[in-house]
Structure 1
Amino acid sequence: MAHSTEINRRVIITCAVTGAGDTVDKHPAIPVTPKQIAAAALEAASAGAAVAHIHVRDPDTGKASRDPALYREVMDRIRDSGGDVIVNLTAGMGGDLYIGPDHAPLGFGDGTDLVGAEDRAVHIADLLPEICTLDCGSLNFGDGSLVYVSTPDILRRQAAIIQRLGVKPELEIFDTGNLWFAKQLLDEGLLEAPPLFQFCLGIPWGMPPEPRLMLALRDMLPPGAVWAGFGIGRMQMPMVAQAVLLGGNVRVGLEDNLYLDRGVPASNGSLVERAVTIIEALGSKVATPDEARETLGLRRRA
């Protein structure tokens, strides 16, 4: 059987603690500095998250960054804390392409940051986290002219780099074609078993956060796959329940949702706590970091 068709009884929670979006002015306490991001990861772990998914930001502007020194400081702070959390570093930065105006589309706009596979993985090679992301396709990212670029050639090179480093790729699935191509990477021997998939629902213009779609994605998975899913905004917690019921794992955090309730700003810890409540109300248990490592085939790094 390709996947479990039953409720997941031991659920891995990932907390995406800050993201790369323009959210600093929309929330009173988005983690920005390496100290704040590391503290957010540890807060999420204390609340029940086994995995912390981490982006870094420019400490002065709050804008997205891919500076390896910032990643190193975050990792050093987490490791020096003595806390146990699986670190999942983004490797998706460097794919932003802002198409120019209609009369000059090749005049790429401010914010364009487009680099190849090697540059997207510099901090992964340097820090060797247990997990890093692999965004499995290109996407019209929201309204406007931003295209996230991750071509088959880039993905093959990036997957080979990640495989050589011995890091587990989390395969980010923003549309059904992304899953199709991720399975192709598996067929080509560029992914190790068990493959780990993350269904990203609700990001315009990828996939809407619909239960039938999450079910369809699960049914497309290859044998032995481990998967998780999330929704953004007000659909974050409904998708937690949906993923658990379909046999999957979950993701919450300020990257995807800024509010605990209407008009009530969330913290990463409060979002994890809400997810724990849902998981336990469904009769399941929350996985510890070591239980998550067992499920994912990870070996804890020193």
Structure 2
Amino acid sequence: MNERPGNGALYGGNPPGAGNTDPLIINVCLSGNVATKAVNPHLPVSVNEIVESGLAAVEAGATMLHVHAYEADGSPTWRPGIFGRILQGIRQHCPAAVLVATTSGRLHGEIEKRAAVLGLDGDAKPDMASLTLGSLNFPNQASVNAPDTLRRLCLLMREKDILPELEAFDLGMLNYAFYLQRKGLLPLDCYVNLMLGSLGAVPGRVLDLANLAREVPLGWTWAAAGIGRYQLPVNTAAMLMGGNVRVGLEDNPYYDYASREPASNAQLVRRIVRLAGELGRPIASCQETRARLQLGQRENWKATQAVIRKLRPDDIAAAIHLLGQWNMAPIQPSAQVPIPERDRLEADNTFVATLRGRVVGVASYLHRGGKWAETASLAVDPEFLGCGIGFQLQHARLAEMRAKGIAHVRTDSDRPEVIRWYVDKFGYRITGQQPKKHAFGRADCDHWTILELDLDPT
């Protein structure tokens, strides 16, 4: 199959261009963690106000609603019951709208609170949930998004089939999204908001938006948001570049920032619709938005999950090439080792990991008779190191050995990091050393470290 270009413009990304006439997706951030009614009396806070504001925004042309929830005193809340009432209230009148729940850690840092909204189901279940891709400083507080927190949120969204609404405040955050995707923690085609103009983020200049947008992979859907006075110019630039827009009172409570004229969400949407018409951009419907984002299509998630299976004849060339990157023998002229002897590939003892049809990992073992076996080569494509593929391959071969009644496993390695991996991750113990059959005249690598593992029966 043809491989899709990788992330970023250097790999065939999404360079901005003029004349795009794709239907425009309008994502409205109805309210947030900072603005209050003292700043803008139109800011929706109660459940009924948020529902009414959301429905008015959809009537004006929005198809996505980014939702925060509040306690009776107006303070932001994480409680799923309040979120559920909002989402159900909107769906009762507009079932096709794309509903997005915040998982912001700006005020509630505990993962249990941030993830609580992901447990809603039925009409209260969000279609999407926000995922800020890194930590940053706002004017008066920090937004902390630790790697483990992001990983756990991604896993929950994948489990619940809730599409992440990615938020990238700089190029580093966008790059982190590519890392999460390589680890199988994001779907193949993502939605991302490019957030500009906040303190501690990318400035709200057209140049900065262009530099971010050109790194968005093909197949992804991106929208741009400008904070405060940058909202209108960033939204306009995004439409010209073929992107989509995030607009709303969370990012900017004013219709005219210079005069501090308060806005409503519907007013901000109507202005975007008017400008889009002048620029030749039709407005996406809710159904078009859902189709573009592939909501409810599990294949989008499955496309980034490595498949572990047995070696097939048509995998052999790719597997040998991959192993050749990790074995010393092919690059040492003094060590002329035949490939079959070196890699010990056999169809019945070798597993491969494939990603969209491409072999990205290989692992094998040898049954030495009775209850003994030896784990042989294990290699992962360098592009996917650290993504858990080696871990999955090791689990697969250990599981098969257990099923065959093998009780004792041995492996040899000359790489300190690999030795630590076997010991720390799987409980192997170091039992000795032995000289290599094919030596290289180097004291640091002319012996194997012997590792052994006793397998518990299944």
Please indicate, yes or no, whether the TM-score normalized by the shorter chain is above 0.5: yes
Amino acid paired to 1:51:
M
Structure 1 position 56, deviation (Å): 0.7
Q: Match for residue 60 of structure 2?
A: 47
Identity %, equivalent residues: 34
Q: Distance in 1 between matches of 2:192 and 2:94?
A: 28
Aligned residue type for 2:275? I
Aligned counterparts of 2:39 and 2:16: Cα–Cα separation in 1: 39
Q: CA separation in 2, counterparts of 1:66 and 1:119?
A: 6
Residue 102 of structure 1 corresponds to which residue in structure 2?
Answer: none
CA distance in 1, matches of 2:94, 2:27: 19
Q: CA deviation at 1:83?
A: 5.2
Q: Does 1:279 align with 2:276?
A: yes
Figure out how many residues of one structure are paired with residues of the other and give that number: 279
Give the TM-score of the pair, scaled to structure 1. Answer: 0.88
Which runs of 5 or more residues in structure 2 are unaligned?
1-11, 298-458
Is residue 5 of structure 1 aligned with residue 16 of structure 2?
yes
Whole-Å separation in 2 of the counterparts to 1:223 and 1:271: 29
For the 8 Å contact 1:20–1:56, the answer to whether it is kept is: no
1:35 to 39, 42, 48: 48
- In structure 2, the partner of 1:21 is 34
In structure 2, the residue matched to 1:253 is 248
Work out the CA distance in 2 between the residues paired with 1:240 and 1:231: 7
Match of residue 193, structure 2, among 198, 205, 227? 198
Distance change (3 Å), C-alpha of 1:83 and 1:164: closer
Structure 2 Cα separation of the partners of residues 195 and 222 of structure 1: 9
Give the equivalent residue in structure 2 for 1:185.
180
Q: What amino acid maps onto 1:164 in structure 2?
A: E
CA distance in structure 2 between the partners assigned to 1:278 and 1:59 by the alignment:
37
Aligned residue for 2:170? 175
Cα distance between partner residues in 2 of 1:56 and 1:277: 29
| CA displacement, residues 98-151 of structure 1 (integer Å, 9 cap, x when unaligned) | xxxxxxxxxxxxxxx3202x4312112214311111011001111x4x211101
- Counterpart position of 1:269: 266
1:237 aligns with 2:211: no
Q: Report if the CA contact (8 A) 2:26-2:61 is conserved.
A: yes
Amino acid at match of 1:280: G
> Match for 1:78 among 55, 76, 90?
90
CA contact 1:136–1:155 (8 Å) conserved in 2: yes
| Higher normalized contact order (CA 8 Å, seq sep 6+, divided by chain length) | 1
CA distance in 2, matches of 1:13, 1:222: 20
Structure 1 residues 165 and 83, CA, compared in 2 at 3 Å: closer, same or farther?
closer
Distance 2:242 2:39 in 1: 34
Greater shift after overlay, 202-211 or 255-264? 255-264
Write out per-residue CA displacement over residues 56-83 of structure 1, whole angstroms, 9 at most, x where no aligned residue.
Answer: 11222x2211121110110121122245
Deviation at 1:156, TM superposition (A): 1.1
Task: State the match for 1:67 in structure 2.
Answer: 79
Which of 151, 156, 162 is equivalent to 2:157?
Answer: 162
Q: Which residue of 1 aligns with 2:116?
A: 122
Q: CA deviation at 1:169?
A: 0.3
The alignment yields a C-alpha RMSD, in angstroms, of 1.6
Counterpart of 1:215 (choices 185, 207, 210) is 210
More divergent stretch after superposition (66-75 vs 40-49) = 66-75
CA shift, 1:33, in A, is 0.4
Counterpart residue type for residue 130 of structure 1 = D
Q: 1:218 to 1:82 in 2, by over 3 A?
A: closer
